[in-house]
Structure 1
Amino acid sequence: EKSRGGKKKPKKGDARVDMTPMVDLMSLLITFFMLTAAFSKPKVMEIVLPEKLKKDETVEPPKIAESRTLNIILGPDDKVYWYPGKADPEVTVLQETDFSAEGIRRVLLERNRALFRKIDQFEKDVISGKIDIKQDSMRSAISQLKKDDDTGPIVLIKAYKTSKYKNFVDIIDEMSIVGIARYTFTDIDWIEEKLVVDAINREQATSSGSAQ
């Protein structure tokens, strides 16, 4: 059409906005926020603590079989010392290791192999569908396996004065990985402190001898 002045009138078109890119953007944002929410969930470490005693209540410490006792001492510089049974200042020599897979984990696994195999087989049966059980019931079943264990080690964890707080978390992780049923934190005594000093001195003497 022409206007009175002889010029053509512009065609009126519908003003449409292509929302396809916005849909793609929303999909990306939803994915991003879902992943962010998953990563931001607080990580909680489960620790079994003894029941709190009532006022004026006393409980005799449980008797621990010396043959099952494994003492672990968190030392300086991320070192771990261990010895079985009861400490004797004239006889006991601390064994030194670390937090690697071939370190304290192997020491624990060798002493907890029977229970570890039971728990590992139970988890495999659940995953394969051989055992049909809910998540909560699975945890209860594993707890019962640990409760019934009467051959695994009883681990006493102690800390030397220059040990790191991080190593407390590390050793708890190792207990969980290997499936140790019974462990506790207790104070280091003067005999064990002396044994740690002796171990440090032996290492320094060995290093000095190698350097010469």
Structure 2
Amino acid sequence: MAEIVESGGGKGKGDGKVRAKKLSTRVDMTPMVDLGFLLITFFMLATTLSKPTSMTLNVPDKQEDKEEQETEPLKASKVLTVFLGRNDDVYLLDGIASNDDKAPEELKKVRFGTELRDGIFKSQKRVNSQFEKDEEGNLPFVVVIKPTEVSTYKNVVDILDEMAITKTKRYAMVDFLSDSEKELLGDRIKPQPGDQ
């Protein structure tokens, strides 16, 4: 509330002149502060807080028996190996083992998005046309995802999104690179001074 406070005024120091009283105003800010807190409270309650986002990740079923089941070794010709590199680079090795002599010339560098998607679809088409479904009715195409030291968490999320977009049912995340894979990728996966 505004108040008018009188100050000074009265008779001068004997000069005979009558001076006007000086008026000063003081504004009481209490109601404004109350209004501010009411507005802050209203907007805090009326706003939607950001919800945590999550993504689905398919994991194998728990095995009842603890003994490892023997499975047929995975043939390189049925596999698309995806190496996650620095600066959102992705390296594809389609249907060839990393220790094969043709591997260095077959290793393709692509980017996330349409380039990667086209590479996955092309490999999927090649494998599914050459090989039949297994006894359980699964398609033979498998993607092996291999993050490296220079890849980021965002790259892993992006590649899992690509698996969902391309409807790839069988994929595995492997955080181990063999010696032949390290040799094949060379400097592409070595940390550099600018990397975090």
TM-score in terms of structure 1 length: 0.53
Structure 1 residue ranges without an equivalent (≥5): 1-28, 115-146, 202-212
Give the equivalent residue in structure 2 for 1:50.
60
- Specify the code of the residue in structure 2 equivalent to 1:172: L
Structure 2 residue ranges without an equivalent (≥5): 1-41, 127-135, 191-196
Give the equivalent residue in structure 2 for 1:181.
169
Give the equivalent residue in structure 2 for 1:76.
86
- 1:80/1:67 CA distance change after superposition, 3 Å: same
Shift of 1:87: 1.8
Give the equivalent residue in structure 2 for 1:63.
73
Give the equivalent residue in structure 1 for 2:110.
97
Q: What secondary structure does 2:143 align onto? A: strand
Check whether the contact 2:150–2:189 (CA below 8 A) recurs between aligned residues: no
Give the equivalent residue in structure 1 for 2:145.
157
Shift of 1:104: 1.0
| Superimposed CA distance per residue, residues 143-181 of structure 1 (whole angstroms, 9 cap, x where no aligned partner) | xxxx84525x21011122222122111100110111111
Give the equivalent residue in structure 2 for 1:204.
none
Q: What secondary structure does 1:36 align onto? A: coil
| Superimposed CA distance per residue, residues 74-133 of structure 1 (whole angstroms, 9 cap, x where no aligned partner) | 11222111112222253212211111x22211111223469xxxxxxxxxxxxxxxxxxx
Shift of 1:60: 2.5
- Specify the code of the residue in structure 2 equivalent to 1:161: E
Shift of 1:199: 5.8
- Specify the code of the residue in structure 2 equivalent to 1:91: K
| Superimposed CA distance per residue, residues 37-64 of structure 1 (whole angstroms, 9 cap, x where no aligned partner) | 6xx3432211111234568522334432
- Specify the code of the residue in structure 2 equivalent to 1:165: Y
Check whether the contact 2:94–2:123 (CA below 8 A) recurs between aligned residues: no
In 1, Cα distance between the equivalents of 2:100 and 2:63? 34
Give the one of 92, 98, 119 matched to 1:107: 119
- Specify the code of the residue in structure 2 equivalent to 1:83: L
The percent of aligned pairs where both chains have the same amino acid is 30
Q: What secondary structure does 1:88 align onto? A: coil
Check whether the contact 1:89–1:191 (CA below 8 A) recurs between aligned residues: no
In 2, Cα distance between the equivalents of 1:195 and 1:149? 31
Q: Which has the larger radius of gyration?
A: 2
- 1:162/1:200 CA distance change after superposition, 3 Å: closer
Give the equivalent residue in structure 1 for 2:27.
none
What is the root-mean-square deviation in Å for CA atoms of aligned residues?
3.2
- 1:148/1:89 CA distance change after superposition, 3 Å: closer
In 2, Cα distance between the equivalents of 1:160 and 1:41? 30
Give the equivalent residue in structure 2 for 1:196.
185
